[in-house]
Amino acid sequence: MLIPKAQQRVPLKKAETVSHNTPTPPPSGQPSLGELVARISENVSGLVRGEIDLAKAKAKVMGTQFGLGAGLLAAAAVLALYALGFLLHSLAQGLSNLVPMGAALLIVSVVLFIITAVLALIGVKRLKAGQRSIPDPQAGLKRSAETLKTSFSTGLQKGQHRD
């Protein structure tokens, strides 16, 4: 049976000793494999930290947008309750007396509903703006991983061309 050359064992002579404590310096000033792995590990750690920081910043912006939109919708709801009260009171006054005072109350109610509609539209617009800034850290990590793979394979190709 033939054993491939890579799997054959070469016996050491007595004068040869193997030292695992002192790594041999890389030839021609190129970084060693350990240094390359350490650099890659540092770069990956930096990318992950960056993605986490980006997700935190986006979440903060999103929270601000949602908070402002929810506040405006709450204000619109309060005004809508007041407007409903005025409208009902105006209807009661107008139907019971048929006096100008009821018409005045009706005008106040309509104005309050217009303000309510404007606030509600602004609030909905703010909520939609907040939804667009929802963080997606998975997509950023996937892009970073692809960039890392590409740069690693490019580095390997450049290293092979130098040999």
If one compares 80 and 111, the residue with the highest pLDDT of the two is 80
Asked if pLDDT for residue 163 goes beyond 80, the answer is: no
The sign of the torsion formed by the CA atoms of 46, 52, 58, 61 equals negative
* pLDDT given for residue 24 in this prediction: 56
User: Which position has the higher pLDDT, 89 or 155?
Assistant: 89
Q: What percent of the chain has a predicted confidence (pLDDT) above 90?
A: 11
Query: CB neighbours (10 Å) of residue 94?
Result: 17
- What is the value of pTM for the model shown? 0.36
* b (16+ CB within 10 A) / e for 55-64: beebeeebee
pLDDT at position 1: 47
Using alpha carbons, list the distances in angstroms from residue 10 to 5, 6, 13, 119, 138: 10, 10, 10, 83, 48
Q: What is the mean pLDDT of the chain?
A: 76
Of 38-42, 103-107, 125-129, 138-142, the range with the lowest mean pLDDT is 103-107
| pLDDT score of 85 | 81
Q: Return the pLDDT at 106.
A: 74
Cβ–Cβ under 8 Å, residues 125 and 68 = no
pLDDT of 23: 55
pLDDT over threshold 80, residue 113:
yes
Q: Higher model confidence: residue 141 or residue 79?
A: 79
Determine whether 156 is exposed, middle or buried from the number of CB atoms within 10 Å of its CB (0-12, 13-18, 19+): exposed
